[in-house]
Structure 1
Amino acid sequence: MKKFYKLSLTTLLAFTVVLTGCGNNANSGNANTNAGAATNAPAEATEAPTATDAPVADIKLGMVTDVGGVNDKSFNQSAWEALQALEKEAGVKIQYLQSKSNADYEPNLNTFVKDGYNLTWGIGFDLGDAIGKVAAENPDANLAIIDSVVDAPNVESVTFSENEGAFLVGVVAGLTTKTNKIGFIGGMDSPVIKRFEVGFKAGIEAVNPDAKFTPTLAGAYDKPDIGKSLAATMYNDGIDIIFPAAGATGNGVFNEAKSRNKSGGSKVWVIGVDKDQSIEFGDDITLTSMIKRVDEAVKKVSQQVIDGTFKGGTTTVLGLKDNGVGLPETSKANVSADILAKVEEFKAQIIAGTITVPAE
């Protein structure tokens, strides 16, 4: 296969990434087979090649999921889809390792580092400590993380202003609810989930201060059955809109809503998270979604490795002004034009700094 070096790739395939915006049951060592075999047994340590020295076809990008799994219909899936796009566009090698528990994080990360991957991604707040440890033990390796800040010279951190996007879907919920009861189901207690919760609550209160807001935590990102059970309790209590920010656990909320709506009872809604979840679950139950452009963030940082411009020790925070969070165009299917106009008004005020959305 003819190999193109960095200079020619940059010349022929350069593109500007505009930032427009939680599995399966495989063992943690089971990975996508498109890019060769990766295992959890650490290989003999080798120095990770730099992007400037490696032909593009030899550049390897690895990704470690959190416990939600690569097929979580949410942010792990978004990240993997971004790497798949780079594989197709630039010809790089990609691989993922799935984590079944927190104990898998460090060994999975080390697998890629010891195998000389040019960049190793950790997807999710829970991987922060493991990324920090692996980075300190392997100063020549490039690592990156979504949803957490790791202060290390060889790690790029990307976080999002989830509270800003959640505020906007809170506006939609507050103006749409028929029962004046709205619920939130978070995955686990973390700063990221708290930003979702408080932003959502603030958006509801901005347009419907009489609405009753009920938040809860599932305690897991990979338990759809728990999500379904929590949703059933909320819907039984008269809540008609639930916003789950709980990875694959949130899939159970959609399953409960679909079952109830099919039975002919009172209409209930779910607000999607991270991806446009109407694509997966249908717009008959997905009121709107709070998109978080994990895909574009992963693609942008990974491209830096390909181009030789990766800069560790940096943190990027993406919010409404960066199009890092927001609502999808498909919102028009269920949200009235008047409500969407109100959403745009609040969006403009947040970007202008007239409204500061709480984050904790």
Structure 2
Amino acid sequence: MRRVSRITVAGVATAALALTASACGSSSSESSNSDSKNLGLALAYDVGGKGDQSFNDAATAGMEKADKEFGYKSNAVEPQDGESDADKVQRLENLAKQGYNPVIGVGFAYAPAVKEVAAKYPKTTFGVVDDEQIKADNVADLVFSEEQASYLAGVAAAKTTKTNVVGFIGGVDVPLIHKFEAGFKQGVADTKKGVTVKSQYLTETAAEGGFSSPDKGEAAAEGQIDDKADVVYAAAGLSGQGVIKAANAHKVWAIGVDSDQYKQDALKAYKDSILTSAMKNVEGAVYDLAKSVKDGKPETGVIRGSLSNGGVSLSNSNPVFADNKDTQAAIEKAVTGIKDGSIKVKTS
């Protein structure tokens, strides 16, 4: 069991994870031949696991949609604390042996394992989310222009702030999260001069809990709010729940990430503090890869979600945000500029 805390429905989430772990722990001796009927797709979760109300849950939604439409009985496997690349390799091999197709590693940490296992199972399609370095005929690199959605989040923050101080909290200090920070800062700067962006990363590595520790996110947000930030944007997976909790406690705004966090059941007690969310359509990417395999034309290579193709976006679920005509006009102008190339969003 991962040593992470949930800020709501902790008992239910823990029980659900325990059931998932027991259901997905089949050994290779129990696996069926990969040439048998396709069982559906399989997800190998990133840190934070199912129940993060963000990245992993978006992948789960894509899996569930495919199951419902195609009659699949898909599988999802939780990560373990302190696991190695060899552990990830074993997990992916077991899923491929059992007859799941596609097999998707949810997160860039799976890239080395996907590369190794895909070479051993050329008839199985593999996917990896948030990495585009694997060049193989049976691998789909599912990546996103996170900086574009983050730019829009920056526009929203700049139009909303009253203190002219906003915050960015990244889960782990890695290039992927630098894209979120870069886009956010640029969106703020292009929208309103004189706004200070305070940035903080929770950890240097994922193993230290940067993506899976709501307490770390809450503490970081408390510090930024104490420094007058009245809008805080977190790109931190499960840790972002702590940021949202802190924002709600201090009556300031939080900006969610990856999923529309205003609509998440586990965050409903705090939803009135969630201004908007910078979303990336992991759900759609997972579903589309499963459908391509079902249709006999598996997607491979780099598949990038952007504003232009709906792969990234900004949510409008909070009526306070959606009904603000001035803010919405600024965001629409930014969307147009990004799509037509007149605004070039930085990635670092």
- The TM-score with structure 1 as length reference comes to 0.84
Report what 1:322 is aligned to: 309
Task: Give how far 1:46 is off.
Answer: 6.4
Report what 1:123 is aligned to: 106
RMSD: 2.2
CA distance in 1, matches of 2:80, 2:328: 39
Assess if the C-alpha contact under 8 Å between 1:30 and 1:97 holds in 2: no
CA distance in 2, matches of 1:206, 1:216: 21
Unaligned runs of 5+ in 2: 1-5, 7-12, 204-209
Assess if the C-alpha contact under 8 Å between 1:283 and 1:333 holds in 2: no
Match of 2:70 among 80, 86, 90: 90
Match of 2:164 among 168, 174, 180: 180
Report what 2:3 is aligned to: none
CA distance in 1, matches of 2:316, 2:275: 12
SS in 1 for 2:276: strand
Structure number with larger C-alpha Rg: 1
**Per-residue CA distance 1:58-99 (angstroms, 9 max, x = gap):** 532110001111110001101111111121122011110000
Assess if the C-alpha contact under 8 Å between 1:28 and 1:97 holds in 2: no
| 1:257 maps onto 2:257 in alignment | no
SS in 2 for 1:96: strand
Assess if the C-alpha contact under 8 Å between 1:185 and 1:215 holds in 2: yes
Report what 1:162 is aligned to: 146
The residue identity in structure 1 corresponding to 2:39 is I
**Per-residue CA distance 1:5-36 (angstroms, 9 max, x = gap):** xxxxxxxxxxxxxxxxxx75579995278xxx
Assess if the C-alpha contact under 8 Å between 1:164 and 1:199 holds in 2: yes
Change (3 A) 1:289 1:333: same
CA distance in 1, matches of 2:318, 2:16: 36
Unaligned runs of 5+ in 1: 1-22, 262-267
Match of 1:31 among 20, 26, 35: 20
Report what 2:127 is aligned to: 144
CA distance in 1, matches of 2:54, 2:190: 27
Aligned residues: 322
Return 84-93 or 71-80, whichever deviates more: 84-93
CA distance in 2, matches of 1:25, 1:43: 28
CA distance in 2, matches of 1:209, 1:105: 46
Change (3 A) 1:136 1:354: same
Report what 1:69 is aligned to: 49
Change (3 A) 1:327 1:27: closer
- The TM-score with structure 2 as length reference comes to 0.87
CA distance in 1, matches of 2:141, 2:63: 17
Alignment of 1:1-360 (within 5 A): 24-25=13-14, 31=20, 37-39=23-25, 41-43=27-29, 48-49=34-35, 54=37, 58-101=38-81, 102-103=83-84, 104-149=87-132, 150-219=134-203, 220-261=210-251, 268-280=252-264, 281=267, 282-312=270-300, 314-334=301-321, 336-360=324-348
CA distance in 1, matches of 2:94, 2:296: 23
Report what 2:9 is aligned to: none
SS in 1 for 2:41: strand
Task: Give how far 1:140 is off.
Answer: 2.9
Task: Give how far 1:107 is off.
Answer: 2.5
Change (3 A) 1:260 1:189: same
Report what 1:9 is aligned to: none
CA distance in 2, matches of 1:158, 1:198: 21
Report what 1:13 is aligned to: none
Task: Give how far 1:113 is off.
Answer: 1.3
